[in-house]
């Protein structure tokens, strides 16, 4: 119910009629609108964007070939694909940190072959690729044999 009132305040839902007892009566349209809002939010649209899309839908009623939703869906798709790329990088780095047996971040910072991009910020060109030696070094650190 708090959500409904929030949507009302944001102009996504019309204020409902009230019964004599003061209870709010939502028309069945409100239920459909709620489903639309939830679905659009799940696709990554903000409430403001959903409101704008609904607004466009209302204004161009009868003119169903509006390109607004298509345009926004494509923009959202680009955003989502960028996020996937970023997340894939994070995923790969985490996998490398696990398989490279990273143990201590300070130690990682001093290990040129560490897969974590700690030193990349400063010495991108000097860091040799690969990390097979890193694993050995971490092992040595853990077991104390140097
Ligand atoms: Zn490391």
pLDDT, greater one: 101 or 120: 101
Question: How many whole angstroms from 89 Cα to the centroid of ligand 1?
Answer: 16
- Token pair in block for residue 144: 């104390």
Question: How many whole angstroms from 108 Cα to the centroid of ligand 1?
Answer: 4
pTM above 0.85, yes or no: no
pLDDT, greater one: 102 or 132: 102
pLDDT digits (tens, 9 = 90+) for 43-97: 999 999 998 888 776 665 555 567 888 999 999 999 999 999 999 999 999 999 9
Query: What is the rounded distance in angstroms from the CA atom of residue 144 to the CA atom of residue 122?
Result: 29
Q: Considering the domain 1-63, what is its CATH architecture?
A: Orthogonal Bundle (1.10)
- Token pair in block for residue 79: 């955003």
Question: How many whole angstroms from 71 Cα to the centroid of ligand 1?
Answer: 43
Question: How many whole angstroms from 138 Cα to the centroid of ligand 1?
Answer: 7
Question: How many whole angstroms from 112 Cα to the centroid of ligand 1?
Answer: 9
Question: How many whole angstroms from 85 Cα to the centroid of ligand 1?
Answer: 22
Q: How much is the pLDDT for 96?
A: 92
Query: What is the rounded distance in angstroms from the CA atom of residue 117 to the CA atom of residue 123?
Result: 10
pLDDT of 131 over the 60 cut: no
| CB 39, CB 73: distance < 8 Å | no
Question: How many whole angstroms from 99 Cα to the centroid of ligand 1?
Answer: 10
Question: How many whole angstroms from 86 Cα to the centroid of ligand 1?
Answer: 20
Question: How many whole angstroms from 130 Cα to the centroid of ligand 1?
Answer: 12
Q: How much is the pLDDT for 74?
A: 95
Question: How many whole angstroms from 51 Cα to the centroid of ligand 1?
Answer: 47
Question: What is the domain partition of the chain in residue ranges?
Answer: 1-63, 67-146
């Amino acid at each position: 119910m708090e959500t409904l009132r929030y949507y009302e305040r944001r102009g996504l839902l019309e204020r409902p009629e009230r019964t004599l007892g003061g209870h709010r009566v939502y028309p069945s349209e409100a239920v459909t609108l709620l489903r639309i809002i939830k679905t659009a939010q799940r696709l990554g649209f903000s409430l403001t964007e959903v409101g704008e899309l609904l607004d466009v839908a209302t204004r161009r009623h009868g003119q169903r070939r509006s390109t607004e939703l298509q345009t926004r869906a494509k923009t959202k798709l680009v955003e989502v694909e960028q996020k996937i790329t970023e997340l894939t990088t994070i995923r790969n780095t985490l996998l490398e940190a696990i398989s490279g047996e990273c143990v201590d971040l300070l130690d990682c910072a001093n290990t040129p072959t560490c897969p974590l991009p700690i030193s990349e910020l400063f010495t991108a060109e000097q860091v040799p690729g690969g990390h097979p030696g890193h694993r050995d070094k971490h092992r040595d650190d853990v077991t104390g044999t140097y």
